[in-house]
Amino acid sequence: MKEKVVLAYSGGLDTTVIIPWLKENYNYDVICCCIDCGQKEELEGLRERARLSGASKVYIENVIDEFCEDYIVPCVQANAIYENKYLLGTSMARPVIAKKLVEIARKEHASAICHGATGKGNDQIRFELGIKALAPDLKIIAAWRDKKWNMDSREAEIEYCKQHNVFLPFEVAESYSRDRNLWHISHEGLDLECPENEPNYDKLLVLTTPPTKAPDTPEYVTMTFEKGIPISINGKEMKISKIIEKLNELGGKHGIGIIDIVENRVVGMKSRGVYETPGGTILMEAHQQLEELILDRETYHAKKEMADKFAELVYEGKWFSPLREAIQAFIESTQEYVTGEVKFKLYKGSIIKAGTSSPYSLYNESLASFTTGDLFDHHDADGFITLFGLSTKVRAMKLMEASKEEALCGQQI
């Protein structure tokens, strides 16, 4: 009996060509796995396509809810944003995919997992670190880095397919390199490769209306959270995946969540991308807005630092790591009281705050007006400033004194 390999399969040319290639070069039975994180229409016809290309078995796993609950929610709770802008859409999806690939590999007693990510990107690292963490004994085949791989263009791949009796209607035309899931879509390549170029949003965007073409009328949206988890939209409770879908619809309509970034990849180079995250942008902003009201100053500031570290870890493919777990434990601990309602007005690319409330707000009317209350007296500030500024004053006096002494010494000589 042949050994089996589990292939991370997207249905596109790049992963389809790997099926005959694996059979020829490794003599494996190829099990194609498409892990559905919400990539939508891309899944159509995928099962048949894999079969026609020589797959011995095809899995299509819908992991959307797991993706939302176990990967997106922690990132939202952390307010994890990479390099000020990137909401980690692709980064968060890779570990859930790696996990599923390993599960299927175990179930099928496969001896290897194969992926088609390129040797210049972050995804190879995210897939492979996930697999190493969950199944260190499994062989990993990175097709594009494999010594037996020698295709370096779409034409070469199509030619290879034909030679191996795979006749599929792949387009030869170049397009943006894209990655899509429930949370976002990313665009790289072509004219974007030059950071001097302004992106042509009319042509580029998939999920979002360009701000300039968005409706002239603003639209309100209300979101509620419980312990940092989104619960409802406009008063209607729904599961997280539905909330994100709804927010994608609203955010997409109003031109929200388009970013244009030059980011630092793990592999040491800068790359330029445009990302659309219409719903995610709203959701994260709402969560953070709520935290403003509820977290005390020190927790808020410390959590901000943790958010950056969390984002870096996720970006670097270190989801299945003790440090990610530890930071998540920290984050979860802070979410105990992050419960309340946030209202936004969406308008042509802008999220305009329209009110926030929470039963656990550390700001409220009784506090705002305690001019003469017993919590705080203007005179308390005297003592506070004396102590808060004590070392400043002591230091200034000391330096004054020392410079006088120096001046004196100078004179004496």
Instruction: Give residues 179-198 in contact with its own copies (rule: CB under 8 A).
Output: 193-198
Q: Select which of 49, 94, 180, 324 is catalytic.
A: 94
| Position 200 contacts its own copies (CB under 8 A) | no
Nearest to 277 by CA among 260, 250, 258: 258
Q: Is 12 exposed, middle or buried (0-12, 13-18, 19+ CB in 10 A)?
A: middle
Find the binding residues for its own copies in span 201-230 (CB under 8 A).
211-212, 218
Active site residue 14: yes
**Alpha carbons 7 and 101: distance in angstroms, whole number:** 8
Q: Which of 44, 65, 83, 219 binds its own copies (CB under 8 A)?
A: 83
Active site residue 202: no
Find the binding residues for its own copies in span 290-349 (CB under 8 A).
292-293, 295-305, 308-309, 312-313, 318, 320-323, 325-334, 336-337, 343, 345, 347-349
Annotated binding site for L-citrulline: which residue ranges? Answer: 86, 91, 122, 126, 177, 186, 263, 275
Find the binding residues for its own copies in span 254-283 (CB under 8 A).
255, 258, 260-264, 266-272
Residue number with CB closer to its own copies (167 or 220) = 220
**Alpha carbons 146 and 166: distance in angstroms, whole number:** 21
Distances (CA, A) of 289 to 26, 64, 164, 337, 355: 53, 26, 56, 14, 9
Find the binding residues for its own copies in span 373-392 (CB under 8 A).
375-392
Q: How many CB atoms lie within 10 A of CB 106?
A: 13
Angle separating helix axes 123-134 and 89-107, nearest 10 degrees: 40
**In 3-state terms, what secondary structure has residue 30?**
strand
Copy the structure tokens of residue 386: 């004396």
Find the binding residues for its own copies in span 95-114 (CB under 8 A).
none
Q: Which of 37, 114, 133, 250 binds its own copies (CB under 8 A)?
A: 133
Q: Which of 5, 125, 141, 243 binds its own copies (CB under 8 A)?
A: 125
Catalytic residue numbers read: 14, 94, 123, 177
